[in-house]
């Protein structure tokens, strides 16, 4: 999901929560959650709660639409990376902390750095398909051997 799609959903939620308060107001631009628009702190909490529920994230604190969009986008990005990391560790029997340390230094090649073979790549692709409810062709599975390539491929598939 890209930022524009997230922004559209956040604005939809804002519209629902503020439908009575903002009927005659324009919340384009940064879309600050402000008392200037008749917004109460309770309204802000309701928006953040609904956005958290919609995107399955927690701890949002944004004070405007753009800030909330960035928080959601970052959380979704981290979520994909962590899920890919978990699958790699489970399937290739690596310690997650060891992989995280390697990733801090540079991108990982699943074949060269983690010892995956062609069969492992196809099994990993199947695991990604099950986890993210996407389709990955055998060719895509064999081509995406870098950690960053795998994450990008999955994010593209999730964006539709």
List the catalytic residues. 117
Q: Look up residue 155 and give its two tokens.
A: 């994010």
Q: DSSP secondary structure string, 113-152?
A: TT---HHHHHHHHHHHHHHHT----HHHHHH--BHHHHHH
Give the list of residues 6+ apart from residue 98 with CB closer than 8 angstroms, or none: none
Q: Look up residue 70 and give its two tokens.
A: 């960035």
CB < 8 Å & 24+ apart, contacts of 37-41: none
């Amino acid at each position: 999901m890209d930022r524009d799609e997230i922004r559209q959903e956040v604005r939809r939620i804002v519209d629902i929560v503020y439908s009575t308060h903002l009927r005659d107001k324009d919340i384009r631009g940064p879309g600050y959650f402000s008392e200037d628009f008749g917004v109460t702190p309770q309204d802000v909490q309701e928006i953040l709660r609904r956005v958290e529920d919609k995107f399955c994230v927690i701890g949002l604190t944004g004070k405007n639409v753009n800030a909330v969009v960035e928080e959601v986008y970052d959380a979704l990005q981290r979520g994909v990376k962590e899920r890919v990391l978990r699958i790699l560790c489970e399937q290739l029997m690596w310690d997650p902390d060891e992989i995280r340390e390697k990733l801090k230094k540079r991108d990982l090649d699943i074949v060269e750095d983690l010892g995956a073979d062609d069969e492992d790549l196809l099994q990993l692709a199947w695991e990604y398909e099950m986890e993210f409810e996407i389709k990955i062709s055998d060719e895509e599975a064999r081509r995406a051997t870098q950690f960053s390539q795998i994450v990008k491929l999955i994010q593209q598939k999730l964006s539709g």
